[in-house]
Structure 1
């Protein structure tokens, strides 16, 4: 493992007067695929939002590729770190064709060769060029999530935050998207921090995982332990036992 791609120290996150994440300490190495797992409401998605700049009420330290994360918008950060959201139906503008969705980050950052870059990234996510001028309602859920992944890749980030990226998709499509994400990580040297409640997804996608319960990390484990079920914390063992019937 190399230097930390994501470093969280003493991270507390609040919504109003309610503290929802407490004392999170985490280091994700460059090139690693790391999972945050836990039940709904455990705080795992909130951690991603804080890193992405979408949950500004936090204390502690957040750094990505050695750069401290401020509390406000940071256009330079967008080139380093991008987020893929859970809902491919809500994350794309309904009245913008795919070409416009992918072109926007290039325009915002003043980058050239836009047509070539759009064609390259669509190819990388397994969509041919006929999809460029379609609207989101003309795409399936899996195709929309491919577009969302393509949009996240436009600025060539090295770190990707993945918030339950397949949970809103049909089971038949989930494996396609997971295979795509796995291939992109290998081809582009990406670091993933993935939120999921599905332990088989962790086993397939990730090197390590942090288990969250009620806003705190209760255990950090090697994903290989998912094959043996050898965990130290009762809550992790309960999650593991409950996941036995799930499938990727």
Structure 2
């Protein structure tokens, strides 16, 4: 499990959109190098939790800290180097007129990191992208290749934490498995901590160590992934969620 330090600590996190409270008094600790799943129906607040951690959602109260360092409300460069997000739609998150090289070099340029010529090919290789892809545009890539580029971009600053928002749900089933295997390998090789938001419990079963079931902005229960595989969750709602899951969860 890595060190004893928590990679992510959330204390009494509440998030509102206008008058609507979407996350309610949520507290959670995620250990270094753990993969933690947030599951629940649409509107349960799971993606909003990621938004608050990354700074995409500003209207939150409570405490967010990464490796013991409190996260302020302002956009913080040192934070970006520590924690990055991978979005659901790899096409929407890549600029259509930027080559793979430009996409991957951009975070380095913004943060004044000078070794793009070394780091771009290195990260492409780590994410299973062959050298010829470097100067292609997003429309010349498949969905799986685009998501590999998005993952490579998130890793360019060598962060310790990746926030994964439905990272495979826009992909074909055959490609989903490839991307999940890639994420599993990267986590091991780069000692990454993941928070994975998904409605697909089979993905949680494959990638995660623990999970939290969310409903209406609150955590109902936190459990080890074994409880998911053996359908021994304690909360009735959690068991209903598993029963309704489209893909059967297997060990």
Deviations 1:133-179 (A, max 9, x none): 11101110000000000000000000000000000001110000000
1:97 aligns with 2:70: no
8 Å contact 1:207–1:222 — kept in the other structure? yes
8 Å contact 2:202–2:247 — kept in the other structure? no
Q: 1:235 to 1:247 in 2, by over 3 A?
A: closer
CA distance in 2, matches of 1:105, 1:167: 25
For residues 192-231 of structure 1, what are the structure 2 equivalents within 5 Å? 192-231=194-233
Q: CA RMSD in A?
A: 1.1
SS of 1:36's equivalent in the other structure is strand
Q: What is the match of residue 187 of structure 1?
A: 189
Deviations 1:44-102 (A, max 9, x none): 00000100000010000001111111112111101100000011110001111110010
Match of 1:167 among 142, 166, 169: 169
Unaligned runs of 5+ in 1: none
SS of 2:135's equivalent in the other structure is coil
Q: What is the match of residue 44 of structure 1?
A: 46
For residues 84-123 of structure 1, what are the structure 2 equivalents within 5 Å? 84-123=86-125
Deviations 1:192-215 (A, max 9, x none): 000011111111000000000011
CA distance in 2, matches of 1:245, 1:42: 20
Between the two proteins, the alignment pairs up a number of residues equal to 248
8 Å contact 2:85–2:154 — kept in the other structure? yes
TM-score normalized by the length of structure 2: 0.97
4+ runs of 1 displaced by more than 6 Å? Answer: none
SS of 1:169's equivalent in the other structure is coil
SS of 1:110's equivalent in the other structure is coil
